[in-house]
A and B are shown apart, each in its own frame.
Chain A
Amino acid sequence: MGMFNRRQFLVGAAAAASASSIGLAACSGGGSSDGSATLSFGWWGNDVRNRETDQAIKAYMKANPKVTIKQQPGEWDSYWDKLSTEVAGKNAPDVIQMDMAYISQYAKNGTLLDLSQYGVDTSKFAPATVDSGKIDGKLVGINAGINSLTILVNPELFEKAGVDLPDDTKWTWDDYLSLSTELQAKGPTGTTGTQCAFPTDNMLQIWLRQNGKDLYTADGLAFTADDLAQYLDIMVRFMNAHAMPTASAINEEVGKSIDQTAFGTGKQGFALYWSNQLEAVNEASGTTMKMLRPPTVAGDATKLNGYYKASMLWSGYAGSKDPEAVGKLINWWVNNTACAKICLDERGTPANTEIVTAIESKLTAAGKAAVAYLDDIKPGLGKTPAAPPAGSSQIGDIMQRHTNDILFGKDKPATAAPKIVSELQAAIKSAQ
């Protein structure tokens, strides 16, 4: 990763150097900077994101000398513990990097600002990318970057095994299964066909949407136990056909970072990722992976019924002493080219289409591929789903537990599905 980091760092530094002038120009038109403000700014990420965010914050402070921003970087796993403790102590950061999985929970309890009242401009955003942050009619999260699910494929491994890559505009789930099986059989020793993404809600959502359903309504589940059982049967077929790793190897993948996974170490044919993760996967594996549209039930990629997901969002803390300044900062972050040139697409392809045009030439090959992929899947896009209801963030945990029982032969899809559904319903109910 080292090389890439440093290069990106240099790009960021160069952008920051020029940012002061651009930033000033952009902000002088922006409005009444009457008062000084001290804001705290919390986010999660790795050292690359931390450095870029630091650069961008410094650029903003240079452009707005009266504003002081205190940084609160963190990493995903502990970020939420800290945030909930801080909210309990009424001491949360003014600007909060938010995730779709948690936004309802925080919004429902009145923790987040309605940013539409504080001058955040979303007029240049791609269609449907604003809605992800709307809860009960309030704009509590601003899309910080978009991505979409993609099946990554390792072309080198396919070549070695002498298996042809699928045509991703036409492939079906059955094709996915047969290709994985074939690759696992023909590939070098230790090769597995596909990552087992079935226990994730992401894979489930892809399948559900193709069948005219979805994961959630605004306050509950949009699928039945029967739907789920049918879906889990697919997983069992993959398992029985030896198209994916053994049950315990699948388990070991959980919580591994990309470079430790079977796919990241070049031993696996397919894996499900977000489009903005391509860069990281390529870095980790040393292979240029190819992005495929997910398989469809109909064998027609225009019937994918996909959507652009907010990879993360910007939210403001309702307890902030200076909500105006919060709104101004977030507005700058998502609409200002100077900021975008520092952060590029690290948080996902920007939702502001003009920004994408402005930075596209600076993106890496993988970044450009992600932009192209988002463009490619346009014919197959459907309605943006409702934000997951509060309490639903447990779905990953619940699914993982019960699919494990199936993988280890202790349960069957038909009996596991109702358990998953009832546990999930209970979790959502208790959070309401």
Chain B
Amino acid sequence: MSAISELTSLRRTRAKTAAERQQQRKENGRDNKAGYLFLLPWLVGLVVITIGPMCASLYLSFTDYNLLQPPKWAGLANFREMLHDTRLHQSLKVTFIYVFVGVPLQLALALVIALALDKGMKGLSFYRSIFYLPSMLGGSVAIAVLWRQIFGTDGLINQALRLVGINAHTGWVSDPSYALGTIIILHIWTFGSPMVIFLAGLRQIPTMYYEAAAVDGARRWARFSKITMPLLSPIVFFNLVLQIIGAFQSFTQAFVVSGGTGGPSDSTLFYTLYLYNRGFANLQMGYASAMAWVLLVIIGAFTAINFFASKYWVFYDD
């Protein structure tokens, strides 16, 4: 059977008749016992470690809590304050720009590089390691220094510009107009994590599909669009969902590069950075909790949209 037709037949199993669906629904409780057994460690963790603090933070979002004294009930005051908090609005703006620019660029780059590196060529594992190196640094404080070395007033970029005769006086990392841009570049620079996941996903595509496609004489683009993309789509979906969640919560990079301030002039004031500053630097944990739950609603909405949209482009073999 050719790979293409095999895929179509797999696809066909998704389109169930009403009767089949009915039966499916009956089957939903089929593995109750086994399901909960396999899920047991996670459930214990949920009850013992996760749920409590989550509920606590929800409660705290309705209080005035400075960490040093017991929380005082404040009703909706925190949420009302958020409506008029211009720094909060600025942080939302910064975060949305970051999510909508940084995530697609980083994912696209990670996918392209992963596809390039998936092929058998000389020095492959060397390149893979080199490209992954920046991601290993994580939120190391060294990043802040490195970034200034590149994007500072006397950094690498400006030195290069001076070589070609442009006398740049502004530091990219310290000018409000460009600072966010450098953090987006920092984000893209650490594309190693999604790349590794893409690589793992590519490895999982059974080679027989390609072999079959080769027999069919399928061209490179056809192989990519008919085999690689559909079979990689669950992984693309995973990266998309979690990169978006991660980008909304982005904290470390801005924290490290701006020295925790979100400066210059709030141009890199990420939402969670502002949340952290309210919670820990200003000791307003009640307000920070309220901010956290608003963020949860925002991220939740985006994730829900993602899951909904995934029905149209993500292909599962089950």
Contacts and interface: CB of A to CB of B under 8 A. Distances in A.
The reply, when asked whether chain A contacts chain B directly with Cβ atoms under 8 A, is yes
Interface of A: 77, 80-81, 84-85, 87-88, 105-106, 109-111, 190, 245-252, 254-256, 260, 391, 393-394, 397, 400-401, 404-405, 408, 410, 427, 430-431
A430 B286 CA distance: 12
B40 interface: no
B85 to A, nearest CB: 11
B263 A391 contact: no
A252 B69 CA distance: 37
Contacts of B171: 248-249, 251-252
A85 B174 CA distance: 32
Nearest to A402: B265
Contact of B265 (A109, A246, A404): A404
Nearest to A106: B68
Tell me if A's interface is mostly helix, strand, loop or mixed: helix
A84 B65 CA distance: 12
B282 A255 contact: no
Nearest to A109: B68
A251 B262 CA distance: 12
Contacts of B173: 252
A87 B67 contact: yes
Given A88-B68, A394-B282, A401 B265 contact: yes
Contacts of A190: 154
Contacts of A248: 153, 169-171, 174-175, 264
B181 interface: no
Contacts of B285: 88
Contacts of B153: 245-246, 248-249, 252
B265 A405 contact: yes
Give the size category of B's interface with A: 20 to 34
Contacts, number: 91
Given A80-B281, A248-B264, A252-B148, A88 B67 contact: yes
Contacts of A245: 153
A178 B145 CA distance: 33
B280 A80 contact: yes
Nearest to B155: A252
Contacts of B280: 80-81, 84
B194 interface: no
Contacts of A394: 281-282
B68 A400 contact: no
B144 interface: yes
A400 B285 CA distance: 23
22 contacts: A80-B280, A81-B280, A84-B280, A105-B66, A190-B154, A245-B153, A246-B170, A248-B153, A248-B174, A249-B174, A251-B175, A251-B263, A254-B261, A255-B258, A255-B260, A391-B282, A397-B261, A401-B261, A401-B263, A401-B266, A427-B282, A430-B282
A431 B283 contact: yes
Given A252-B152, A397-B261, A401-B266, A87 B68 contact: yes
Q: Of B144, B175, B265, which is in contact with the most chain A CB atoms at under 10 Å from its CB? A: B265
